[in-house]
A and B are shown apart, each in its own frame.
Chain A
Amino acid sequence: MTTLKHDIDKRTLMQRVFEPRRMGRMAPATAVIVYTVLILWAAFVIFPIYWVVITSFKLPIHVNAGPVYLPFIDFTPSLHAWNYLVVESFNDTARSYLNSIIISLCATALCVAIGSMAAYALARIEYKPRLGVILMFVALLAGAMAVVGLAGIDWRIVFAAAGALFFLLVRAIGNRFKRRLGNGDILFWIISQRILPPIVVIIPIYMMFQSVGLVDTHLGLILAYCVVNLPIVVWLMHDFFVTIPIDMEESAQLDGATRFAIFWEIVLPLTKPGLAATTLLVLILNWNEYLLAVFLSTSNAQTMPILVAAMNAGDRGILWWTMCVVIVVMIIPVIAMAVLLQRFIAKGVLLGAVKG
């Protein structure tokens, strides 16, 4: 880099246009292409958002009669939709908003904490569960549920019995199973929990929550969101932990630090960028979750995405203007969060696997 620094540019015109003068700069031709791409893409990204924002200031007639583009020029903006949402139905909006904030923050914190611990463990400790025992466990669980579902015996009794049977079996024949699984299998099992479309597990989850009184509570949604996003946290954080050099941890261990201390004081600070990115991603997913929210909440724990869906008034058509207000209101805190966390993410490292 330094060699080229101060000489007079002796290169040919072609070289001047197509090759960078030095590293850290772009050749003019590249710059043209790069900025064109950036601006075009920014336009493609921003336009739908712009449309949503201006629609939130439109009267129904402006939406229905054909497109108008520029506030104050094409049409006179109106605050009627904003007024409806933030003044007339303030209570509903504020309650949902507060719920959304509480639930998504708590769920994200819990999920990132538990998930990164598991990810760290999977990156550093070797686990070797026996395949046979796991299959036995799943078979017993399925059997117990079939008994509950078909024979209608109280679920508490059946599961207690199945649990006892399982422990007896493990003691008795657990050691016979030779085939073991590795960390990779556990990881794949964890990510596979995200494959099933949530729609089919809604009713079982509802019944489960209902029997322990978690329906329409904040805690219920927090737990559900936490579990749903654990796989993503474990995967992203695992990729990150494996790339941290192990030397520091080893020397700390020699100094007598406990595993928790190492994790908390050495490993986590090293992974700030990854942690920030993962947190942001999970926060966004929690903030925007709809299906679980609809079913596991009635009114106490109702969250914002339900309001978006609610603006589709079925036979009265979609209240585009109010819906756009909800979308805009929902996106503001996330952008704030992104700007806040961007500091950490922008440091460069996110998925450390690259350094491997």
Chain B
Amino acid sequence: MTSQVVTLGNRPEPSAPAVVPYKENWSEWLDRHSRQLFITPAIVMILIFAIFPTIASLIIAFSRIRLTGGGYTVRFVGFQNFYKQFVGNEQVHFLGKFTSMSGLGWFVSAIFIGTMLWWLYKALKQGTTVIGFIGRLITAAMVIGIALLLSATVLSGNQWGTLGTTLFFVFLGCAIQFFIGLGLAFVCSQPIRGRSFFRVVFFIPLMITPLGVGYAFRMIADTTKGPFAPAWQWIGLGNFAWSSDPWAARFFIVIGDSWQWIPFVFVIMLAALENISREQIEAGHVDGASSWQIFREITWPQIIPVAATVMLIRVIEAFKIVDLPNIMTSGGPGIATESMTLHAVFAWRANDYGQSAAVAYLLLFVTVVICSSFFNYVVLNQLRKK
């Protein structure tokens, strides 16, 4: 039941002994089956421990589950859990509030729609497979959908829901983490003194348990008893509470998230930078190229693949952001800092497993489309260029 992925792909090993039947010993047997043996443990474990719960939770997403004395009862409710998020009474919570769209909103959506249509047209013109085109269609539809959503909510002066908040955390957070992480890695790759010290120090935030980071930042950001309380008073913001202002609260959470995750980008980008051969850079210097030119022409192309992998992993993790908003603000003020995972957690704590799973699957859908678009159209492109 478990090894099919491997066995199905199995072709006769070219180097395998062809005819002579003889009794092989176990190490030869091992070697002959190494193809499968290498990958089977991982596939089997993922199949058993990940596929089963994934499908089970998909079933939950389409039903109402209740834990009872004898285990649980399942009542199938179709798309009701999803329907609720888009048009039912969770709409404002999930998507945001809509009124008429502002001029800016129309303008921005028009730009996005135009770009996507042009991109699709280009793909068609260059020739693409049917599946490839369907993939592009899905990507384009999602980009247009998100653009319309943001235009109708935040650009028109309305509140956005947990979807918008999640995207804000992901895109702003990952951008900040990437640029600062890369910048620090670049600085650290210079011939500096005390590099081991700086490396270990810069790496520390990643080691703290995410809950701990949440609490530490809650303590530090406290404007009445935190370390910066006197500073707040002094600049006349003694009566300003970041936690009561939606945007300030969102930015504080992004800061906390970045504090923890910049080290991740930093460490890996540093390794990538150090891998670049010095000769090329020296040659560039000798040719009289400026530092910026050297970075753009020599360094950047070489670190792109690593950068792409790092960002892919980072984006996937960022979509699941939950500890920081949960601990720092509990999603408040209002629903301003509630991410989709937190939305699912709140529903889950109230025993509303169906809705919780539905929100999680919507998150899965958004993440898969965005990540696979990123993977297919950015990472693979870069790898092809090499």
Contacts and interface: CB of A to CB of B under 8 A. Distances in A.
A120 B39 CA distance: 9
Contacts of A150: 74, 76
A94 interface: no
B50 A193 contact: yes
A205 B360 contact: no
A167 B50 CA distance: 21
Interface in A53-91: 55, 63-67, 69
B18 interface: no
Interface string A255-288: 0001110010000000001000100010010011
B134 interface: no
A172 interface: no
A223 B49 contact: yes
A200 B285 contact: no
11 contacts: A34-B190, A46-B204, A49-B205, A114-B42, A121-B35, A130-B9, A133-B8, A174-B8, A204-B53, A239-B305, A330-B209
Contacts of A191: 312-313, 316
B219 A51 contact: yes
Interface string B1-13: 1001110110100
B335 to A, nearest CB: 18
A244 interface: no
Given A42-B202, A194-B316, A223-B45, A204 B209 contact: no
Interface string A335-356: 1001100100110111111111
A207 B72 CA distance: 10
B316 A23 contact: no
Given A200-B348, A349-B274, A350-B271, A166 B1 contact: yes
Contacts of A339: 200
- Max chain A Cβ within 10 angstroms of own Cβ: one of B57, B212, B341, B348: B212
Given A24-B191, A199-B341, A277 B8 contact: no
Contacts of B204: 45-46, 49, 331, 335
Interface of B: 1, 4-6, 8-9, 11, 15, 27-28, 30-31, 34-35, 38-39, 41-43, 45-46, 49-61, 65, 74, 76, 183-184, 187-188, 190-192, 195-196, 198-213, 215-217, 219-220, 224-230, 259, 264, 267-268, 270-272, 274-276, 278, 281-282, 285, 302-303, 305-306, 309, 312-313, 316-317, 319-320, 322-323, 340-341, 344-345, 348, 353, 356-357, 360-361, 363-364, 367-368, 371-372, 375, 380, 386
Contacts of A65: 225
Contacts of A277: 267-268, 271
Contact of A195 (B61, B184, B371): B371
A145 B55 contact: yes
Given A342-B199, A345-B271, A227 B312 contact: no
Contacts of A167: 1
Contacts of B15: 253
Contacts of B190: 26, 30, 34
Contacts of A127: 5-6, 9, 39
B200 A197 contact: no
B165 to A, nearest CB: 15
Contacts of A137: 4
A121 B187 contact: no
Nearest to B49: A227
A63 to B, nearest CB: 7
Nearest to B55: A142
Contacts of B51: 138, 141
Contacts of A207: 56
Contacts of B31: 258-260
B302 A35 contact: no
Given A67-B230, A190-B46, A223-B45, A45 B192 contact: no
A232 interface: yes
* 6 pairs of A and B residues whose beta carbons are closest in the complex: A350-B271, A118-B42, A204-B56, A121-B38, A201-B53, A288-B209
A42 B205 CA distance: 11
B333 to A, nearest CB: 20
B201 A45 contact: yes
A142 B215 CA distance: 40
Nearest to A143: B55
A318 interface: yes
A25 B191 contact: yes
A352 B43 CA distance: 24
Contacts of B55: 138, 141-142, 145
Contacts of A230: 42, 45-46
A159 B39 CA distance: 23
Given A121-B38, A353-B305, A114 B45 contact: yes
Contacts of A199: 322, 341, 344-345, 348, 356, 360
A221 to B, nearest CB: 12
B322 A23 contact: no
Contacts of A142: 55, 58-59
